[in-house]
Structure 1
């Protein structure tokens, strides 16, 4: 990997461009850690109701800094400017991060998003790493743990990157308190990816999870998901789960495995929201993706771009939607000089091609 570790070059990122949220911060510091390039991010989340770094973003920044000894400026809650300057190559090892430590009174910020920030740098480093992240594990606007386990990790493994995940405790809003353990091991640069069609549907798995709620909640979600999928001619493996957590919460997660792709679809509970509606939301997302014939779901599409930028050779895949996150991730890769990403809308799918810059792998 490239290792320009001087302050002679500073990549400047406008945190308000594209989707304008925390993804820009997390991806920028992950890339900076891998490449050893100083990075300045301004206008962080400037258009959000609560602009600047929040607890989850701050934890991700400090976690990435711990991997490469980065010097930080602006690493505080509410800061709209951050300077991240790596001092050495990313070191594999044992790490532990807790989102609650970033804010007095704690936080349920997303543990999966923090884990994803440090995963790529550690997977591209020499050696095996053990990472523990505490925080929220099942939150809206974030991949839940089940998505990481059933979609994200298998996709990385297909690239030759070893990812093992264990959920040690659940964490829902507002108290969080969840705990994820990850074993990470790279084996050289990632393999390139060629996934243009989903192909035949192999399996569908449903997890109907309710934390600190009556037993009928997960059962109702499970029954509704099973019924809707049966109408599609799908005999899914459906599991209602009643678990313990510091805060109550409910999730229905649908994992789909195809001959040529992956998909994960989540419905989140909320006070006053019928259990059946939670299941319906997850199944509706699955149905839309299946009808498109795309190989990867819209969330994996942007999450897979970073590892593909470091792969040997170009990659091509299809997804069901060109999200703002996908386009933002593509622009970040261009800005850092890592890869050119072409995104073309077709009749039912979106075709994505990733061309790593010469010398990056």
Structure 2
């Protein structure tokens, strides 16, 4: 049994999710201690319990400590079984993080799976539906991980209750990830300005702001405005680039009393910093792509505009399972190059 110290590094839920995924894939039992020890409310929260129960469902795992607030979990996996599943967080907790917990194990299983998730789809501190669909999905599909997603209902904080339907196809094997930014080409950015249960001028102001800032930098931008069905008010400005050898997505979320222009500025500031860096991948994708990279054939390599604590923590977790070899080449103490040597 592999012992995982949940207080390592950033000490959050990522250690739990990555450990569950790798336990299912490798068949190795795990005991996680000090779960989310560095968070204001340590232990398993509803979202994390949903991850645990979802993982247990798809592989018939035996569990100890799968309770609200628990800081210790024993997970003894069985064989991953593709099929039809439904998982509900029960709060506005992120359904995308639950999806990422079970994606790789199911993609590496022998058959297709269809899953319905209910909870938060566009909430703070997690990748939103559109990031997973428009940035993460193209990146991993290049490696051989194929899935489809449909957003049936948006889930904003505080009510959540969004609905996402996914179909995961079996992979024939994972190839390496080696994006190469194409220099000198004109950058084209896409953006979504969305609202739910709010006046239409909110999304129009978000759109106007992102166009004004980017066109002022002579960056071409294509903005789509949409009104989404949701159980409570919410707004989103998501801008991304996925192509030209680059993957980056940046989110601004509305909140009570927060001007629409500030929502747009939050997304655009992240985008501009990424574009100026010249890196192939943003910091979010860099830690998310690590797990498939250590399982892929051959050597993966990509540049990032920021070596985050999440990335460093994921490197440590994969090392606990004896998977791959990761080398970081920092350029300025922040950005750098990641080299990952997977399976032969």
Range into which the TM-score falls when normalised by the shorter chain: over 0.9
Deviation string, structure 1 residues 193-226 (Cα, Å, up to 9, x no partner): 1124354355311101111111111110011011
Of 65, 70, 91, which residue of structure 1 is paired with 2:61? 70
**2:152·2:162 contact (CA, 8 Å) conserved in 1?**
yes
Matches within 5 A, 1:243-258: 243-258=228-243
- Where in structure 2 are the equivalents of 1:12-91 lying within 5 Å? 12-87=3-78, 89-91=79-81
**Structure 2 contact 328–336 (Cα < 8 Å) conserved:** yes
**Separation (CA, whole Å) in 1 of partners of 2:237 and 2:135:** 15
With normalisation by structure 1, the TM-score equals 0.92
Q: 1:150 aligns with which of 106, 117, 134?
A: 134
CA gap 1:12/1:198 in 2 versus in 1, 3 angstroms: farther
Distance (whole Å) between structure 2 residues aligned to residue 247 and residue 153 of structure 1: 27
Structure 2 unaligned segments of length 5 or more: list them. Answer: none
Counterpart position of 1:349:
335
Following TM superposition, by how much is the alpha carbon of 1:357 offset from its aligned partner in structure 2, in angstroms?
5.2
Aligned to 1:103: none
Q: Distance in 2 between matches of 1:258 and 1:90?
A: 33
Q: What SS does structure 2 have at the residue aligned with 1:241?
A: strand
Q: Residues of 2 paired with 1:228 and 1:42: CA distance? A: 46
Matched with 1:6 is none
1:290 paired with 2:280, answer no
How far, CA to CA, are the matches of 1:43 and 1:210 in structure 2? Answer: 39
Partner Cα separation in structure 1 for residue 130 and residue 275 of structure 2 = 19
Instruction: Find the residue that maps to 1:288 and give its secondary structure.
Output: helix
Q: Tell me which residue corresponds to 1:281.
A: 266
CA distance in 2, matches of 1:187, 1:23: 24
Instruction: State whether residues 298 and 343 of structure 2, in contact with CA within 8 Å, keep that contact through their aligned partners in structure 1.
Output: no
Partner Cα distance (1:316, 1:142) in 2: 24
SS of the equivalent of 1:172 reads coil
Partner of 1:338: 323
Q: How far, CA to CA, are the matches of 1:51 and 1:112 in structure 2?
A: 21
CA contact (8 A) 2:190 2:241 kept: yes
What is the total number of aligned residue pairs between the two structures?
342
**Residue equivalent to 1:120:** 104
SS in 1 for 2:181: coil
Partner of 2:87: 97
Of 181, 187, 194, the match for 1:197:
181
- Whole-angstrom distance in 1 between the partners of 2:85 and 2:176: 28
The 1:318–1:198 alpha-carbon spacing in structure 2 relative to 1, beyond 3 Å, is farther
Partners of 1:66 and 1:194 in 2: CA distance: 33
Contact 2:153 2:228 in 1 (8 A): no
CA 1:186–1:203: 2 relative to 1, 3 Å:
farther
Q: Secondary structure at the match of 2:220?
A: coil
CA contact (8 A) 2:330 2:337 kept: yes
Structure 2 equivalent of residue 265 of structure 1 = 250
Alpha-carbon RMSD: 1.3
How far the C-alpha of 1:232 sits from its partner, in A, is: 1.5
Could you say what secondary structure the match of 1:194 adopts?
coil
Structure 1 unaligned blocks of 5 or more:
1-9, 101-106
Contact 1:42/1:80 (CA < 8 Å) preserved in 2?
Answer: yes
2:294 to 306, 309, 330: 309
Conservation of the 8 A alpha-carbon contact between 2:191 and 2:224: yes
